[in-house]
């Protein structure tokens, strides 16, 4: 568990999430001069991005192979999400603030960018920030600042933009990139492999407990631009790291595509805890605008006794298509998935996980809390698969849906596949609504209707909120309440 | 079915099937049942399979679909319910079958048996306030595709027990059903597998107060496969459905349950419970469970549970510690595991029949 | 403090209260007694502002204000407290967390400063001890898995914490054995105050042995049919509701 790391969570994280816990206030646009790749997607676009990043040839070839694969692939249609056809030629695939030096110290960062992150509640100035959380700030297609790199370097932890890692640690990146989510994995992952622009690379050496929480704040700013970040985290034998990502975007009438890939590799007895607060712009109350969030996240428990834990609070995006998964390859490895997905107004969420049990004595736990309000559709889709040699594999799944109002939908699609007779899989699902007597009881004791809803929904989500670092959980509760504003009449 | 079905309707069904064809595993609902592989090189048979009816009790009217002069109730209802590609095939290609109409509360169970190769159709109409107990036997090592339609009028009661047993067979039965106000369908399906065996049910609870209570047991060994796929739609409020399926899979067998419960918008007061459990006894056996909920109304009670595992080690130890030999203890626990799914069979004589079939399958 | 005049209340178009009159001043404890179905719970819910209870005629005036026009949380903030017959379970929300949220919501609505977690904890602990509400109960999810007695004690703890001006106790005695009843009654008596009015709703006389009212009203068929001092309870016990209703007619 993260007991040693949790107290390290500092005020900065707290403030950041506190800021998230208010009405969508990240809708602002930073007016900054941008460099963009020409509109549309072609081999030239891929070459442009690679050149802009000053990448080695192998990386370009890797991207081109992905691109060639992608043009032959079909966009998946099995999820319960509906959206107009995306015109992949009518978007920008690369946008970077001008005058961003490749290797930058904070002094060199454009003050407008620093101000943007300050507005988001993420001070990048190390003197101002209390120690405890190192931040990588990704603005559209580039990382604009990374804090505390020196302190982390002392511990041997590499925490840097992936574009830098490709240049500075090519062997390490080549060894792991695409090994968890192969280039050809799925339509959106392949697209990402071709055009990914920035993201975070984390390497924790053998036996090291990362001395602070790591976090990345993703910000989409430019219009008509997709964001395709790529994150790779490698935890060597016996190491531990806790990583947190937050996402925001301006309010716009258009839909913008976000297709990220996250790969986690946990070697023997290593543990990776990955938390997400996804608060991309969800669109307005009539369903106009919002981010299309098509994300592939997968962790590979490659070593014995390794552990990967995903915790997600998904409140944003017009469409969420996301299944953070664990491949439990090592014997005695552990996978966890804790999820809160809130869909209000016209949001559509299709999210869940895959737990693939390959090794002996592997264990997984899935706790999913879905909340639907307004006219939203919220689907849990999950797979628990136990392969023939996964002796004594164990899974427990609890999947609860809460409906608020008679015009939304809550759906549960679990797949349970077992090919080992000693394995044990248990799945439970419930569907409920906020009972009128619960609301009245709270109101009769003085709570306003929306406060009462927030309280009851937070109770419903408690098991997941508890998984977040403590101070963070307190603030995340506010976000839960805010996301449901306007859902009670 | 020269007179029972209008030629245009028949052609429509044929083109429906031709447009989709034999489902492959890429079709979501056939993910766990590889029909194309089970059929192998043999073409999908266009013969007509056989049916046999026990003594017809008073209050039940029968029409042989192969005969001339089909009565109005047959012409009205045959091919009127929801169809899949395969049930369309049985409608298009079967040259016979049976239609039953129940007008009173019938006490004596009616037995119906399907056998032979090819397509077959059955239609069961329960008029309002009528009741019937239908015992279905599906036997024979053949390739068969049966399409069944069941219509339950207001306050009708159908108790349905199906016992399916085969070895080297490909058996598909697709049942479409609709229930009017306060109608109750109570069913138990015992299946012992085949090369590929699939029972697919599409149940529409269309009248307030309608109820469907399904239970089933599967005992599989060798390379047997048994798939039960249900779709229950709560189209209106105050409807109820329960499902309880228990499966024991030994050898290299494969037990499949896919259940989808849909609650339509506004169907407030719907109540649905769904449980599927499998015991894997063979080292190479497989269980695939997919209990699915699709809910568009908020004032509902819906829950599902699923579990796969082997016998509980503590219980086994407890029994052995009390002096029961391991193999006996295992038998005891397996029977206990299946028993609660059989408890839902209303008539004790039928419950005993299913138990006997289960015991025989477990003993083999 | 509370003035109910010719109150008619319907639920789903069916009239339950049919012209009820009642007046309570500060410092008094009034009891409403009545047979099942007389409208007792309807009265308590309409005072607390539950949705679906439509006032079709008449008025409820509370400290000069039209109570019927306020949402339930505003009534709570203004000092109206209903101890419910069936306290509601809220999974995942700890009792302590709920108490703090409710207390601070009321304070906020009154323009008072919010109390911090430590401050609330201290106050709650002190009051909880008196009512035999354990620390462990405060950590459990609100009312989830509580026994009947525990639920009722928690209701009284809330009453003590929120310090209402008008407390309505709806069948607080239901489901309690004699020891639990005494404990709850002691808690209630400790809260009697010249500035506070209480309305005790009960079917049975036995609660009134422990919480002695200043005035008793008999509710039947949606109207007050008889009124009197505390001795009326004994008369009721002896004669039964049927007789009292007949006598009154």
pLDDT of residue B168: 79
> Is the CB of residue A384 less than 8 Å from the CB of residue A395?
yes
Longest dimension (CA), chain C: 57
Contacts of A432 in chain C (CB under 8 A): none
- What is the rounded CA–CA span in Å between residue B295 and residue B293? 6
In the structure encoding, which two tokens stand for residue A319, read together?
């469409």
Query: Tokens 């007509």 correspond to what residue?
Result: B48
| Cβ-based neighbours of C225, under 8 Å, separated by 6 or more | C218, C219, C244, C245, C248, C249
Q: DSSP per residue over B320-340, as a string?
A: HHTT--HHHHHHHHHHHHHHH
pLDDT of residue C63: 94
Beta pairing class for C141-142 and C90-94: antiparallel
- What is the rounded CA–CA span in Å between residue C21 and residue C19? 7
Contacts of C49 in chain A (CB under 8 A): 443-444
Average pLDDT, chain B: 93
Residue B350 placed within a domain: no
At A63 the three-state DSSP class reads: helix
Count how many Cα atoms sit within 13 Å of the Cα of residue B44 in the half-sphere of its side chain. Answer: 20
Residues above pLDDT 90, as percent of chain A: 57
Mean pLDDT of B5-11: 93
| Cβ-based neighbours of C185, under 8 Å, separated by 6 or more | C207, C210, C211
Mean pLDDT is lowest, of A118-122, A308-312, A382-386, for A118-122
Whole-number Cα distances in Å, B12 to B6, B89, B92? 10, 10, 8
Average pLDDT, chain C: 91
pLDDT of residue B211: 98
What range defines the domain where residue B194 resides?
7-311
Query: Is the per-residue pLDDT at A129 higher than 60?
Result: no
pLDDT of residue A100: 61
pLDDT of residue A103: 47
pLDDT band at A21 (very low <50, low <70, confident <90, very high): very low
Any idea what DSSP says for residue B55? P
Q: Where are the domains of chain C?
A: 2-248
Whole-number Cα distances in Å, B218 to A108, A185, B193, C205? 70, 36, 8, 60
Which of C84, C25, C24, C19 lies closest to C50, judged by CA? C84
- What is the rounded CA–CA span in Å between residue A42 and residue A49? 11
Longest dimension (CA), chain A: 68
A400: left (phi over 0), alpha (psi -120 to 50) or beta: beta
pLDDT of residue B198: 96
- What is the rounded CA–CA span in Å between residue B296 and residue A340? 19
Query: Is the per-residue pLDDT at A488 higher than 80?
Result: no
pLDDT of residue A131: 44
Work out the number of other CB atoms within 10 angstroms of the CB of residue C111.
Answer: 7
Closest partner CB to A405 (pick from B298, B307, B310): B298
- What is the rounded CA–CA span in Å between residue B162 and residue B114? 11
Contacts of A437 in chain C (CB under 8 A): 86, 88
Cα-based torsion angle of the residue sequence A53, A58, A64, A65 in order, rounded to the nearest 10 degrees? -150
Q: A103 versus A300: which is more confidently predicted? A: A300
At B242 the three-state DSSP class reads: strand
Residue B318 placed within a domain: no
- What is the rounded CA–CA span in Å between residue B90 and residue C222? 65
Closest partner CB to A437 (pick from C88, C92, C158): C88
- What is the rounded CA–CA span in Å between residue A172 and residue A179? 12
pLDDT band at A70 (very low <50, low <70, confident <90, very high): very high
Residue B344 placed within a domain: no
Whole-number Cα distances in Å, B361 to B164, B218, B225, B253? 12, 9, 14, 13
pLDDT of residue A449: 87
pLDDT band at B311 (very low <50, low <70, confident <90, very high): confident
Interface test with B, best of A348, A398, A427, A432 (most B CBs within 10 A): A427
State the chains in contact with B (3 or more Cβ–Cβ pairs under 8 Å).
A
Q: CB C105 to CB A436 under 8 A?
A: no
Residue B317 placed within a domain: no
Mean pLDDT of B163-175: 91
Which residues 428-457 of A are in CB contact (within 8 Å) with C? 435-438, 440-449, 451-452, 455-456
Beta pairing class for C166-170 and C80-83: parallel
Q: C71 touching A, CB under 8 A? A: yes
pLDDT band at A13 (very low <50, low <70, confident <90, very high): very low
Whole-number Cα distances in Å, B14 to B19, B21, B297? 9, 10, 36
Q: DSSP per residue over C31-97, as a string?
A: EEE--TTSSHHHHHHHHHT-TTEEEEEEEEEETTEEGGGS-HHHHHHTTEEEE-SSPPPEEEEEHHH
Q: B315 versus A455: which is more confidently predicted? A: A455
What's the Rg (C-alpha) of chain B?
20
- What is the rounded CA–CA span in Å between residue C76 and residue C166? 10
> Is the CB of residue A189 less than 8 Å from the CB of residue A245?
no
Mean pLDDT of B288-301: 94
What b/e string do you get for A402-438 counting C-beta neighbours within 10 Å, with b at 16 or more? bbbbebbbbbbbbbbbbbbbbbbbbbbbbbbbbeeeb
Residue B80 placed within a domain: yes
The gap from C-alpha B173 to its chain's centroid, in whole angstroms, comes to: 7
CA A387, A388, A389, A395 torsion: positive or negative?
positive
Interface test with C, best of A444, A455, A465 (most C CBs within 10 A): A444
Count how many Cα atoms sit within 13 Å of the Cα of residue C127 in the half-sphere of its side chain. Answer: 25
Q: How many domains does chain B have?
A: 1
Query: Tokens 């047997």 correspond to what residue?
Result: B224
Contacts of B286 in chain A (CB under 8 A): 417-419
- What is the rounded CA–CA span in Å between residue C3 and residue B93? 80
A178: left (phi over 0), alpha (psi -120 to 50) or beta: left
Q: A340 touching C, CB under 8 A? A: no
| Cβ-based neighbours of A105, under 8 Å, separated by 6 or more | none
Q: Encode pLDDT of C25-76 as tens digits.
A: 999 999 999 988 899 999 999 999 888 899 999 999 999 999 998 988 899 9
Work out the number of other CB atoms within 10 angstroms of the CB of residue A142.
Answer: 21
Do chains B and C touch, with touching meaning 3 or more CB–CB pairs less than 8 Å apart? Answer: no
Work out the number of other CB atoms within 10 angstroms of the CB of residue B356.
Answer: 11
Q: Encode pLDDT of A221-242 as tens digits.
A: 777 888 899 999 999 999 999 9
DSSP-assigned beta bridge partners for residue A342:
A371
Beta pairing class for B97-102 and B131-138: unpaired
Interface test with C, best of A400, A435, A439, A446 (most C CBs within 10 A): A446
Q: Encode pLDDT of B339-357 as tens digits.
A: 989 998 989 999 999 999 9
Q: C168 touching A, CB under 8 A? A: no
Q: Encode pLDDT of A170-203 as tens digits.
A: 999 999 999 999 999 999 999 999 999 888 999 9
Identify the helix (H) or strand (E) that includes residue C126. Answer: helix C117-130
State the chains in contact with A (3 or more Cβ–Cβ pairs under 8 Å).
B, C
What's the Rg (C-alpha) of chain C?
18
- What is the rounded CA–CA span in Å between residue B254 and residue A306? 31
- CATH match for C2-248 among 1.10.3300.10, 3.30.565.10, 3.10.450.50, 3.40.50.300: 3.40.50.300
Count how many Cα atoms sit within 13 Å of the Cα of residue A237 in the half-sphere of its side chain. Answer: 1
Mean pLDDT is lowest, of A271-275, A464-468, B51-55, for A464-468
Q: CB C90 to CB A461 under 8 A?
A: no
- What is the rounded CA–CA span in Å between residue A442 and residue C88? 9
Mean pLDDT of A441-455: 91
| C-alpha distance across the termini of chain A, in Å | 41
State the chains in contact with C (3 or more Cβ–Cβ pairs under 8 Å).
A
pLDDT band at B12 (very low <50, low <70, confident <90, very high): very high
Which residues 244-303 of A are in CB contact (within 8 Å) with B? none
pTM: 0.87
Nearest chain C Cα distance for residue A367, angstroms: 14
pLDDT of residue A10: 42
Look at chain A and count its residues.
Answer: 489
Query: Is the per-residue pLDDT at B330 higher than 70?
Result: yes
Which 3-state string (H, E, C) describes C163-188?
A: CCCEEEEECCCCCCCHHHHHHHHHHH
Which of A309, A351, A304, A341 lies closest to A326, judged by CA? A309
Residue B156 placed within a domain: yes
């Amino acid at each position: 568990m993260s007991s040693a790391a949790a107290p390290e969570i500092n005020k900065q994280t707290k403030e950041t999430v506190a800021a998230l816990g208010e009405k969508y206030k990240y809708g602002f646009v930073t007016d900054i001069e941008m460099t963009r790749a020409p509109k549309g997607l072609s081999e030239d676009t891929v070459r442009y991005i690679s050149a802009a990043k000053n990448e080695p040839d192998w990386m370009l070839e890797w991207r081109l192979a992905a691109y060639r694969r992608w043009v032959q692939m079909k966009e998946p249609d099995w999820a319960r999400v509906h959206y107009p056809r995306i015109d992949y030629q009518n978007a920008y695939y690369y946008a970077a603030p001008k005058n961003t030096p490749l290797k930058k110290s904070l002094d060199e960062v454009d003050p407008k960018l620093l101000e943007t992150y300050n507005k988001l509640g993420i001070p990048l100035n190390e003197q101002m920030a209390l120690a405890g959380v190192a931040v990588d700030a990704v603005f559209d297609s580039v990382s604009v600042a990374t804090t505390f790199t020196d302190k982390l370097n002392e511990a041997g932890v590499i925490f840097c933009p992936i574009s830098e890692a490709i240049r500075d640690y090519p062997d390490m990146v080549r060894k792991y990139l695409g090994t968890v989510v192969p280039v050809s994995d799925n339509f959106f992952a392949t697209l990402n492999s071709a055009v990914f622009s920035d993201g975070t690379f984390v390497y924790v050496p053998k036996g090291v407990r990362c001395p602070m929480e790591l976090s990345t704040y993703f910000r989409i700013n430019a219009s008509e631009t997709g964001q395709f970040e790529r994150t790779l985290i490698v935890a060597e034998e016996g190491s531990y790291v806790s990583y947190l990502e937050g996402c925001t975007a301006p309010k716009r009438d258009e839909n913008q595509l976000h297709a990220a890939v996250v790969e986690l590799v946990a070697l023997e007895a290593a543990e990776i805890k990955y938390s997400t607060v996804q608060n991309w712009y969800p669109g307005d109350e009539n369903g106009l605008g919002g981010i299309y969030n098509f994300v592939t996240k997968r962790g590979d428990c490659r070593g014995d006794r390794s552990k990967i834990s995903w915790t997600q609070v998904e409140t944003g995006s017009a469409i969420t298509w996301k299944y953070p998964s664990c491949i439990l390859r090592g014997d005695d490895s552990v996978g966890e998935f804790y999820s809160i997905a809130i869909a209000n107004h016209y949001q559509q969420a299709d999210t869940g996980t895959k737990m693939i049990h390959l090794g002996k004595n592997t264990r997984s736990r899935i706790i999913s809390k879905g909340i639907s309000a307004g006219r939203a559709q919220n689907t849990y889709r999950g797979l628990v698969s136990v392969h023939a040699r996964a002796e004594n594999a164990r899974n427990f799944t609890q999947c609860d849906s809460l409906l608020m109002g008679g015009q939304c939908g809550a759906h549960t699609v679990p797949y349970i596949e077992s090919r080992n007779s000693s394995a044990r899989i248990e799945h439970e699902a419930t569907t409920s609504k906020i009972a009128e007597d619960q609301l009245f009881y709270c109101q009769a004791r003085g709570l306003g209707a929306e406060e009462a809803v927030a309280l009851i929904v937070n109770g419903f989500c408690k098991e997941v909120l508890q998984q977040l670092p403590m101070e963070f959980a307190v603030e995340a509760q506010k976000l839960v309440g805010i996301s449901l504003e306007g859902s009670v009449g | 079915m020269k007179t029972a079905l209008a030629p245009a309707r028949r052609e429509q069904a044929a083109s429906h099937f031709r447009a989709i064809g034999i489902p492959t595993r890429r079709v979501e609902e056939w993910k766990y049942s590889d029909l194309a592989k089970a059929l192998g090189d043999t073409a999908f048979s266009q013969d007509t399979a056989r049916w046999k009816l026990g003594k017809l009790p008073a209050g039940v009217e029968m029409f042989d679909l192969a005969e001339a002069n089909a009565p109005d109730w047959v012409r009205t209802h045959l091919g009127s319910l929801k169809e899949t590609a395969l049930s369309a095939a049985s409608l298009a290609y079967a040259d016979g079958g049976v239609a039953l109409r129940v007008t009173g509360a019938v006490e004596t169970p009616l037995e119906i048996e399907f056998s032979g190769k090819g397509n077959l159709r059955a239609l069961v109409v329960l008029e309002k306030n009528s009741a019937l107990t239908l015992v279905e036997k599906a036997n024979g090592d053949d390739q068969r595709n049966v399409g069944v339609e069941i219509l339950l009028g207001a306050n009708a009661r159908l108790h349905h027990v199906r016992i399916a047993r085969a070895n080297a067979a490909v058996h598909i039965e697709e049942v479409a059903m609709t229930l009017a106000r306060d109608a109750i369908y109570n069913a138990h399906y015992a299946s012992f597998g085949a090369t590929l065996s699939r029972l697919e049910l599409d149940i529409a609870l269309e009248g307030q107060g309608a109820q469907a209570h399904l239970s089933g047991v599967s005992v599989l060994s060798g390379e047997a496969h048994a798939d039960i796929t249900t779709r229950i739609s709560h189209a209106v409020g105050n409807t109820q459905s329960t499902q309880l399926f228990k499966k024991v899979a030994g050898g290299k067998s494969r037990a499949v349950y896919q259940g989808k419960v849909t609650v339509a918008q506004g169907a407030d007061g719907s109540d649905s419970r769904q449980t599927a459990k499998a015991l894997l006894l063979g080292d190479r056996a497989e269980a695939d469970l997919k209990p699915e909920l699709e809910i568009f109304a908020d004032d509902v009670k819906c829950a599902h549970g699923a579990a796969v595992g082997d016998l509980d080690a503590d219980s086994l130890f407890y029994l052995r510690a009390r002096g029961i030999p391991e193999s006996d203890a295992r038998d005891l626990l397996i029977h206990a595991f299946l028993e609660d799914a059989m408890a839902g069979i209303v008539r004790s004589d039928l419950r005993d029949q299913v138990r006997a079939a289960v015991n025989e399958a477990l003993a083999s | 403090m509370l003035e109910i005049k010719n109150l008619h209340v319907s639920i789903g178009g069916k009239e339950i209260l049919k012209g009820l009159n009642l007046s309570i001043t500060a410092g008094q404890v009034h009891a409403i007694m009545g047979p099942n179905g007389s409208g007792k719970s309807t009265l308590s819910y309409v005072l607390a502002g539950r949705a679906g209870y439509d006032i079709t005629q008449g008025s409820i005036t509370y400290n000069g204000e039209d109570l019927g026009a306020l949402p339930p949380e505003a009534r709570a903030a203004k000092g109206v407290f209903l101890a419910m017959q069936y306290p509601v379970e809220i999974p995942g929300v700890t009792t302590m967390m709920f108490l703090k949220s409710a207390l601070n919501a009321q304070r906020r609505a009154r323009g008072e400063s919010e109390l911090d977690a430590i401050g609330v904890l201290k106050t709650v602990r002190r009051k909880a001890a008196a009512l035999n509400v354990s620390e462990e109960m405060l950590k459990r999810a609100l009312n989830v898995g509580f026994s009947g007695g525990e639920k009722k004690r928690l209701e009284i703890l809330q009453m003590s914490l929120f310090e209402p001006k008008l407390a309505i106790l709806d069948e607080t005695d239901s489901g309690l054995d004699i020891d639990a009843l005494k404990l709850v009654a002691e808690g209630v008596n400790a809260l009697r105050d010249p500035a506070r009015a209480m309305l005790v709703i009960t079917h049975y006389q036995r609660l009134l042995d422990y919480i002695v009212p200043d005035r008793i009203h008999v509710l039947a068929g949606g109207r007050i049919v008889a009124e009197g001092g505390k001795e009326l309870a004994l008369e009721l016990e002896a004669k039964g509701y049927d007789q009292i209703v007949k006598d009154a007619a």
